[in-house]
Structures are given as C-alpha cells and as structure tokens.
A and B are shown apart, each in its own frame.
Chain A
Amino acid sequence: MTTTDEHVEAALQRYGHRADVLLQILVELQARVGWLPSALITRVAHALGLPRARVEGVAGFYSFLHLAPVGRYRVLFSDNIVDQMLGSRALMAQLCDTLWLSPGRVSEDGLVSVDTTSCTGMGDQGPAMLVNGQAIARLDPARVNEICELIRAQRPLDAWPAHYFAIDDNIRRRDALLGSAFVPGDALRAAIALGREGWLAQMQASNLRGRGGAGFTTAVKWQACRDAPGAQKVVVCNADEGEPGTFKDRVLLTRCAHQVIEGMTLAAWAVGAQQGLIYLRGEYCYLRASLEAVLAQRRRAGWLGAGIGGVAGFDFDVEIHLGAGAYVCGEESALLESLEGKRGTPRIRPPFPVTHGYLGRPTVVNNVETLAKCCLIAQHGGPAFAATGTAQSAGTKLLSISGDCARPGVYEYPFGVSIRQVLDDCGAREVQAVQVGGASGVTVAPYEFGRKIAFEDVPTAGAFMVFDATRDIFEVARNFVHFFAHESCGFCTPCRVGTALLRNTLDKLAKGNGSAADLTEIEDLDRLLKQTSHCGLGSSAPNPVIDGLQKFRPAYERHLRNRDFVPAFDLDGALARARQMTGRDDPGAHLDNATEAER
C-alpha cells in the first residue's frame, strides 16, 4: 500500500512543487487517496510553502474535492432538469435502496456514497452519472442494478465493462465546421503566410464573436491583448462547459481537438503568446488522455513547441488543467484564479484579463467553439466567414439539443435559424417552452418560436432544452435556481444570500405554501440579483424565474394559496420534536399550517 505521504510526494513531484498548481495537486491527491484528510492538507501546505488555511480554503471550494471521508465508490447523479426528466431521481432512489444508504451519506462500511451533482454535460444521452469522476451515460434500471453489483463486489473501476464509459457524439447536423475535413496545420500554415498583422486583419474582417456566452468580438479581444504591455502572454481555452444543458464543447474536444488547439495556436500567433492553457471541466476528465495525445502529435509535427511552422520565435505550447466541480470557474476571471490554484472567485474588473490575466500577464480567454472557428477563418478568409450567418452574428453556431425531442444531440446551424426550424429538425412535438442558453439563458414561449438564434435576437452559448406540454415550467425554473444556489461562489452578498433565499422561496411554493407576498418577494430578489451581483452567475440566476413569471405566470400561481401570507416553515412539523419528547398527540399538540385567519 502506498502511504498518504508517498501519494503527496508523488503529486508534488509531478507538478514540481509549484504553489500555482495547487488545484491540480489537490485534484490528483483526491483521485489517489479518495479524499483529503486534514493531515494531508497540512503536508501539502508545508511542502508548497503556503498557509494551511489557504489550502483548506481551496479544497473546500470545489465540489469534487472532499475534506471529509466519502465512499470508496463515489456515485454522483447528474441533476439537471433534463436528466431528471429522463428518470435520474428514480434511478438514484433505486441505487440507494439496493445499497441500503441515503443520498449525501457514506455507507457504514465506507464503501459507497451517493449524491447529486450539477449537469455533467450528457443531456443528449442521460440520465448520466459520475463514478469516482468517470462519466457513465444512458443509465437505466438494468444498468443501475449491474452497477450495484460491481460496487458490492468491489470491482475496481477499470475492470467495469468498457462500454459503460463510451460517450456518444450524436452529431445530427453538420455545417461549416463539423462538415469539413481538417488537416492539422492547414489553418496555421495559412495564417503564418499572412503574417501576424495580416492574420489579425482576417480575424477582424470575419466579425467572429465569442461562442462562450458574452458574444464579445474576438479580434478586439486579441488586439487588446497584443497591445497590452508585458511579455509572456497567455492563451486560455475555456473548456469548462458548465452551463446546464450544454455539451457541444465536449463533442468538439472529442471530434475536433486539432481545430481547437490549432485555434489556440492561431490566437498565440496573433497576440504573441508563448503559453497556452486548456481549462477542462472535471466532468470531462476522461477526455484528458485523448487531448494529451493530440498535443503530443502536434508537438511531433512541429505545430506546437519552439519555432512553430518553421517561424523563428513562434514558440507556443499547451498544458491541460482540470477543474473540480465549480460552474463559476467558467467565468473567465474566476477561471484564471482557478488556473492559479486558488478559489474560483471572480475578480474585480477592470482590469480585464487581456491586460492582467493569468499570473498578471496579458491573457486571451476564449471558448472552445470560438477557437475552433478560427481555423475556418484562417483557411477560407475573414470575408467568407462574415458572409455567413446574420449581419451581427457571423458564421455558424453549435447547439446542444436535449429534453423532449426525438433526436437530441449536437446541431450546427448558420446563425439566424429560427427556433421553430430547430424544433422541427430535432423532432420536438407539443412544445411548451424552450430554454435557450441554459439555466442562465432565456425561456422561450411558443409565441416566440419565430425568433432567431443570433446575438441580436435570442443569444445562446449553445444549450437548447425542450419542454413539452407535460412539463411544469415552475419546476424547471426551480431546478435551475437550485443549481445557481449550489454553484454560487459566495463572494458577494446578493448572490450568496439571494440565490439561497430564492431557492428557499421556490421550495416553499413547491410545498404548496406560497402566497401572493412571496411573488412580490421573488420579484424583488430578482431585481437585486440583477443589479448588484458581482458576476454573471448572480446576475443571470434569476433569469428563469423572471421569464417564468412573465411568460408562464399561471405555473407559479398554481402553487399559491389564496391568501396574503403563509409561513415559510412547517408549523406543525416544528412541533414534532416536542411531540416526540412528551409523547403527546392530542389536538393541542398540533398546528394547522394553513390557517392564518383572513385579514
């Protein structure tokens, strides 16, 4: 048996005792040891010359790092609404029943623990789970039974049937990016021939806008980074893909890894960066090996490393960092903090990453899809790219389609496609609503199905979740609000407390204890979150509720009692402990939750 100390030594060796890769060291130790005992935290802190409290603070931030013992088999069910619609909660109950345990608890023998986790990015092939960090999709009762057996038999994960871990690409519609064959190096060769200036000019002409959500013009970002004072510039690929319902970056990293990494290299060429980092969400750690292989291949081919494409001084290489279960780390400044081995708390801006990014250096952060699209621009020219899509949204967009439809998967469309068209293509029927852009996006009602996917109409980072007439839109929003409360980093007051209050209020409604006063309170919380949150997580957290109250108000009103005020807690339940202690059950030992006499 390897001792904990030996594990620590091995992890530190691998990362060269660098404090700025603390998170990577902790991720590795979590995988090796199964959890992070307090003595281990002390040792890591000591070895890296960091205050222990800081290491504890980082470890405590990320969902996939555990400061308390967890099961040797850690089962996490993806809890996005789409997984739930596919039956994830029932499967979790089945697993818990079979293994005699309750969610959130470790079994008495320490063998297994079961819980939920935020969307794992398998919405097209759910219900999905992670077992010790490894993704398993397409769960059904039979497979859950098999998994119970494997756990009981204490089979090591690498001896589980390989097909469990197979993840489908489900590409359903191809356009400019997915439809073209790519020869690694082609795009770079073209960009190098244009020279750094000429290449940036093509990017400008392309009007490419970021695909990660904010839609910022990529060339403007690159130029700002290029012009920023300071050497050692950095290009970061944002592969955190945490938005519930999104999985198109996963498919790009699987199918088009060369384009993504070549896109990073194209960015490096434009801005003069030497260092590249891919921040890969922990849920996709299974992709790491294939990505490393692509990196190695590209180094051998001379498309990474020193003197790329034979150009003296064009030196650039890429390193992969793993996330550890924190949606907020997709926000670019939180992502940089995380890359530096810290808690994923968004920074104050200004200054922006393009001038003060990773370790204070000028840094470009781009989404996976944005980077892949750069190859098309290098290959075919900026104007050709600008000629597709719409006036303000050039090019194509990958959509991750899931929910109530016959053909979930990844669809590539030119920008400007109507929502109705997309619904027809994916085989959706009796659609009540579509959530475009994920939990933080827009709830689109049927009267809006003529609207177009484009930055100037319905913008999206890629999620497209379909809900048919049988679904309760209130429950959809409640799921999203739970997600935001769980993922709030807790830095700023409005989001830390506000998302928890919003969650509690929606839960109150769900229990049938809502009142008109609660709707007023919800609207007030929404406003506060929008106006005062520190980052996009808090300011978009109320979106599903705002849209819901506007477009699906009856779905909320159904949960109201017809009176002004109902308490948020269960009055009768609050007497239960006293009943137990006194052995009483007379009428006086109960309270009617419902009656507040009318005013």
Chain B
Amino acid sequence: MTEPRKIRLATVSLAGCFGCHMSLLDIDDHLFELAGKVAFDRSPLTDIKRCGPCDIGLIEGGVCNAENVHVLRAFRANCHTLVALGACAVNGGLPAQRNHLDLGRCLTAVFQSRPGMDTGAVPDDPELPLPLDQVHPIHEVVHVDYFLPGCPPSGEAIWAFVSDLLAGRTPRVAHPLLHFD
C-alpha cells in the first residue's frame, strides 16, 4: 500500500496576536497525529516565506494594511480551502475597534504625541506597508470557505475542526466548542 499523500497546510498571522497559533500548538498529543497527516507549507512554524500550492490555508488575524492584502490574496490563490481562524480573521476583532476612529488621528496619536516616539512625523518609508482606513475581517477581502471563531479558539475546537477537514467532512463547531470569546 502506498502512503496517503500528505495534506499541505499553510498558516499565517495577519493583524492578529499569534494567540490562535499558540492555540494550534495547544492541541497537545494531537500534534503528532497532525504531523503524520500534514506537511506544513508557509507558516510561522516553518521557514517557508511564500505560500505554495496548498490544500488548506489557515488565516489568523484581520486585514489592517496593504501587506495583509497581498499575503491574503496569495493564500487565496494557492490554497484550495481557506479558513478564517479566530475572532480577528472572522470579524476584525480587537484591531477593528479602531474602525470608528479617523486613521490620521490614530497615526498622529501614535507617532507624534507618544513619549519615545517623538520623531515628529508619521514614517513614510516605502518599505513599510500602509495601513487601511479600517480593519476588515478576511471575508470582506477574499472568498473564505470556512470560519472557526474564538479568541482564540480552543485547542480542542481547532483539532475537531481540522480533523473534520482532513477527513473530508464539512467542519461543524457547535456548543460547547463554539465560542466568540
């Protein structure tokens, strides 16, 4: 018997806190099982810098700047199945709490009126990605196939969700695993 092909999985954190990635590592014993079934493509867990063709992409975090848009689009282009992982990817989360504020005033507040930051100006280095005027959940920028909310989703929820995906079942997250907090 030939070994079943390993599922290629990529993950990324956009405007997130890596909490969801920590939770992913929190699946404890299942990590070995997962490692047996999947090969990691681009991910903070690997050193791969660009996402190649993948079966599954897990996106943590919302879209807050131009770079996030590029990365998200690359994931969408390469991943057969794209998953919004965690509150920020699902609805913008904490970063989106700035959405009712004017971006200009946010930038001024950060760069011009904070002690230690008084360079006098908002940085204009072309290397730096420009922020969008509002933070968007990822489904407002690309088509998203599945959503796993939670801040972060528990290791248990992630494992249940990923197992479903790997087994070819429509992932279902219900009480008590489904959480928005």
Q: Which residues of A contact B (CB under 8 A)?
A: 517, 564-565, 567-569, 571, 574-584, 586, 588-591, 595-599
Check: B123 CB closer than 8 A to any chain A CB.
Answer: yes
Residues of A within 8 A of B141 (CB): 567, 571, 596
- Cross-chain contact B77 with A599 (CB below 8 angstroms): yes
* Total contacting residues, chain B, CB less than 8 A: 27
Residues of B within 8 A of A586 (CB): 126
15 more A-B residue pairs beyond the given contacts A574-B133, A599-B143, with a C-beta to C-beta distance below 8 A: A568-B140, A578-B107, A579-B130, A580-B104, A581-B107, A582-B122, A588-B129, A589-B66, A590-B66, A591-B69, A596-B77, A596-B142, A596-B143, A597-B76, A599-B77
Q: CB-nearest residue of chain A relative to B102?
A: A577
- Cross-chain contact A575 with B126 (CB below 8 angstroms): no
Q: Provide 17 A-B residue pairs closer than 8 Å at the C-beta atoms, listed in order of the A residue.
A: A569-B140, A571-B132, A574-B133, A575-B130, A575-B132, A577-B102, A577-B133, A580-B104, A581-B103, A582-B124, A589-B126, A590-B66, A591-B69, A596-B76, A596-B77, A596-B142, A599-B143
Residues of A within 8 A of B108 (CB): 581
- Cross-chain contact B143 with A564 (CB below 8 angstroms): yes
B144 CB, min distance to chain A CBs, angstroms: 9
A524 CB, min distance to chain B CBs, angstroms: 15
Give a binary string over B111-153; 1 marks a CB under 8 Å from any A CB, 0 the rest: 0000000000011101101111110100011110000000000
- Cross-chain contact B132 with A596 (CB below 8 angstroms): no
Residues of B within 8 A of A590 (CB): 66
What separation, in Å, do the CA atoms of A144 and B141 have in the docked complex? 44
B115 CB, min distance to chain A CBs, angstroms: 20
What separation, in Å, do the CA atoms of A580 and B103 have in the docked complex? 10
Q: Which residues of B contact A (CB under 8 A)?
A: 66, 69, 73-74, 76-77, 102-104, 107-108, 122-124, 126-127, 129-134, 136, 140-143
Judged by DSSP, the binding face of B is mixed
- Cross-chain contact A596 with B73 (CB below 8 angstroms): yes
Residues of A within 8 A of B132 (CB): 571, 574-575, 578
Residues of A within 8 A of B104 (CB): 577, 580-581
What separation, in Å, do the CA atoms of A581 and B105 have in the docked complex? 9
Residues of B within 8 A of A584 (CB): 124, 126, 130
- Cross-chain contact B126 with A599 (CB below 8 angstroms): no
Residues of B within 8 A of A582 (CB): 122-124, 130
What separation, in Å, do the CA atoms of A568 and B143 have in the docked complex? 12
With A567-B141, A571-B69, A588-B126 given, is the CB distance from A578 to B133 under 8 Å? yes
Residues of A within 8 A of B77 (CB): 596-599
Residues of B within 8 A of A567 (CB): 136, 140-142
- Cross-chain contact B143 with A589 (CB below 8 angstroms): no
B129 CB, min distance to chain A CBs, angstroms: 7
What separation, in Å, do the CA atoms of A586 and B134 have in the docked complex? 21
Residues of B within 8 A of A576 (CB): 133
What separation, in Å, do the CA atoms of A574 and B126 have in the docked complex? 17
